Amino acid sequence: MTDIQITSPVSAPRIGESAPRPDGVPKVTGTFTFSSDLWHNNMLWGGTLRSPHPSANIKSIDISGALAINGVSAVLTHTDVPGSLLYGLEHADQPVLAADVVRYEGESVAIVAADHPETVRRALAAIVVDYQVTAPLVDPEAAEQAEPIHPDGNLIRRLRLRHGDQNIQGEIQVEGTYEVGMQDQAFLGPESGLALPSEDGGVELFVSTQWLHSDRDQVAVCLGLPPEKVRFTLSGVGGAFGAREDLSLHAHLCLLALHTGRPVKMVYSREESFHGHVHRHPARMWYRHHADTDGNLLRVEARLILDGGAYASSSGAVISNATCFAAGPYLIPSADIDGAVVRTNNPPCGAMRGFGAVQTCVGHEAQMDKLAAALGMDPVELRLKNALKSGDKLLTGQTITGAAPVAEVIKSCVDHPSTLIPSDDMMSLPGGAGRTADPHHIVRGQAMAVGFKNLLFSEGFDDYSSAICHLVDGVATITCACAEVGQGFVTLAQQITREVLGVEEVILAPAATATVGSAGSTSASRQTWMSGGAVQKACEAVRQQLLERIADQHQVNLDDLVLVDGQIVSLSGNFSLDLATATTEPLEADIEYHHAPTYPVDENGQGDAHVSFAFAAHRAVVDVDPELGLVKVVELTTSQDVGRLLNPLQAVGQLEGGASQGVGLAVMEEVLVTEGRIRNASFTDYLIPTALDMPPVEIAAFIEQPEPGAPFGAKGIGEPPSISSTAAVVAALRDATKRELPRVPVRPTDIVQLEDDTP
């Protein structure tokens, strides 16, 4: 258990207090309305025909059989897309519906609307697509030399980062090649939405997503409609973790609703969901670390290759992160990092919690342990010796101006006492319910890892969020398009509003494109800073308007007026008015909040590309059954750099959840792809940790060093928990097994290493 005291505040929670989620109880009791629960009495059901081939030319598509089925209202193909056929987050390179070629298994080819899901299924089965199957390009290492599988070519982005003196050689050098498998975000609520045609010829879409305005803009272009005629509203989101940053069924639903003139609902099946969203990039990484004999890091060389799959998605930004954070949170005077993300006929990859930094953390932390071994040095001491701190330069040449408590997260994490209680319950041993081990079969391992990444969008992207604060009768209403995907904006927006305006009651209006400007994406650990910042500024603007109005109406000195606990009082003591009375006439402010500008990197990967960074460390203790290769993570301890803790309860949830995804990647989570085909598109075979696999997360420390420029000094906290957790677990497995384990997830066969085994 954690030391964090979760207490219910006496009044409605403000900044720094634990605010329980308003949707918490409804979700646990099953009454929360997810986007898959949307309903309209006149609605049709939609469905998608997907390519069974990873690579094929489409010779013809015959929809006549499907159209002839009673109850089928529409069967649409690429020829029915009125606007741009292509869409994409960074580059429009993915067709709304495949035209003459399919580039991955599961690519959308046709869509159907009908009166019943069963009719949809029959209609999809009746569409005849003549495919000329071609050999898929599945090896990312071969992609650049291979025949282009897309007009944009097979190299999505390469970054060459050269930092410092390129001739430095270390007396001690260690080298390693590491591999990370394809992880899925494994959200529980499959892609789903409901589209309604509007009277003005436009369309409304209720959908679960991470970024309403980006979705809206991409879809509007495909529909050939002005953005204002395409109105998106956030519906109940069942998890995201990056998988909802790209479009999935958005354009399809809008097309079907516009074509049929009727509301259309679509819900992906679990299997379809695995094909319907991007995954974490699989990575192959080669490293060489140079150090002097005292353990000072001198230089890091690395070659990173990420498999982007068939379409670009956010691959360009992912490889930028992987490259920039390739060597970890250490001060390194010289580096040569080559990062490439390539196109293949494998499933498309894009955003997932940790965004490029997860993969490289597996590599750089394994290298640090290897280097410590080569030096005969304690691995913690080696890390502390080289830990980044505020004022240091990154490999991009950027100086860290904010907080960088790397040593603090490491020290507090490793110094935290272990609370492990020995258990002789067979269920608590590796193998769990399978009862495969007795205590004397088990060996224990322990290790730590540290990681970091950027917060907010980088490389010159004009990143902003918008919020409207409306104050009347002492009640504040906040309108912001920030997608609540579980991260806790719904509590935070209220806490911030109460803090700034001193109100008790705060209403959150629905997140929608029609009522407010973009909030940007719920990703990159950015919404607490960006939309939190927008809400803060909007509330401050309203406060200023209010105080000016009161000063004017009551002829009091504006500089003497303050807003405290629902009262406007004059510091000179001769004036007081309660907020409800003062706001019978409404006040409103609509603001856009931008973070400090960033800049693109130059041809050597150098530049001030990022705003801020967050750091975390994990210590893992694992039990291993070496003979069977089964494992159990028995303890996980973490410290994280949070700037300032705004909602302790929510923060604990983020640290636990992120670590759980990290444990999953370390020991079980992998989308298995063979010849471009997913072999485990179900929760039967895509395994995520259960309660028997995930230990309680011990939070050693929240390091609170307020971040300059961040609202309330708070850093985003969503991603760091999933960065170093994987690396710590795999390092502990190395400690227990004495195996090199260069690949995650670590499989039983990697530990057992049978001579006649060819996995």
Partner 1 sequence: MSITIARSLDHALTTLHENPDALILAGGTDLMVQINRGYLNELSTVIAVNRIPELQGWKQQDDTLVLGAGLTYAEMEKSDFAAVAPALAQAARTVGSPQIRNAGTLGGNLGTASPAGDTLPVLAALDAVICLRSAQGARRLPILEFITGVKNNARQPGELIEEVHIPAAQGHQEFCKIGPRNAMVISVASLALIVDQQNKKVRLGLGTVGPVPLRPAEAEEHLSTNVNWAANTVSAATLDQFSTLAAAAARPIDDHRGTAAYRRHAIGVMARRTAARAFTEETA
Q: Give me the residues that bind partner 1 (CB under 8 A), please.
A: 121, 269, 271, 427, 430-438, 441, 627-630, 632, 667-668, 672, 679-680, 684-685, 687, 689-693, 747-749, 752, 754, 756-759
Q: Which residue, 430 or 517, is less far from partner 1 as judged by CB?
A: 430
Q: Which residue, 1 or 433, is less far from partner 1 as judged by CB?
A: 433
Q: Which residue, 350 or 430, is less far from partner 1 as judged by CB?
A: 430
Q: Which residue, 9 or 434, is less far from partner 1 as judged by CB?
A: 434
Helix (H) or strand (E) holding 250: helix 250-260
> How would DSSP label each residue in 647-713?
-HHHHHHHHHHHHHHHHHHHHT----EETTEES--STTTS----TTT-PPEEEEEEE--PPTTSGGG
Minimum gap (Å) between residue 119 Cβ and partner 1: 13
Question: What is the residue whose two structure tokens read 């769990």?
Answer: 432
Minimum gap (Å) between residue 270 Cβ and partner 1: 8
Q: How far apart are CA 624 and CA 292, in angstroms?
A: 34
Minimum gap (Å) between residue 55 Cβ and partner 1: 21
Q: How far apart are CA 339 and CA 333, in angstroms?
A: 19
Minimum gap (Å) between residue 632 Cβ and partner 1: 6
Q: Which amino acid is at 239?
A: G
CB-side exposure of 481: number of CA atoms within 13 Å? 30
Q: Which amino acid is at 292?
A: D
Token pair, residue 309, equals 């799959």
Q: How far apart are CA 626 and CA 617, in angstroms?
A: 27
Minimum gap (Å) between residue 680 Cβ and partner 1: 6
Determine the number of helices (DSSP H) and then strands (DSSP E) in the chain.
17, 31
The SS3 call for residue 106 is coil
Minimum gap (Å) between residue 746 Cβ and partner 1: 10
Q: Cβ contacts of residue 509 below 8 Å, gap of 6+?
A: 468, 477, 478, 479, 480, 515, 516
Q: Which residue, 238 or 664, is less far from partner 1 as judged by CB?
A: 664
Q: How far apart are CA 243 and CA 210, in angstroms?
A: 9
Minimum gap (Å) between residue 244 Cβ and partner 1: 23
Q: Are 640 and 457 in contact (CB under 8 A)?
A: no
Q: Which residue, 391 or 759, is less far from partner 1 as judged by CB?
A: 759
Q: Which residue, 179 or 560, is less far from partner 1 as judged by CB?
A: 179
Minimum gap (Å) between residue 627 Cβ and partner 1: 5
Minimum gap (Å) between residue 224 Cβ and partner 1: 34
Q: Which residue, 59 or 270, is less far from partner 1 as judged by CB?
A: 270
Q: Which residue, 143 or 678, is less far from partner 1 as judged by CB?
A: 678
Q: Which residue, 402 or 689, is less far from partner 1 as judged by CB?
A: 689
Give the full edge-to-edge strand order of the sheet including 587-594.
506-508, 475-479, 464-472, 587-594
CA distances from 398 to 204, 608, 610 (A): 43, 5, 8
Minimum gap (Å) between residue 732 Cβ and partner 1: 16
- Main-chain phi, psi angles of 86, to 5 degrees: -105, 145
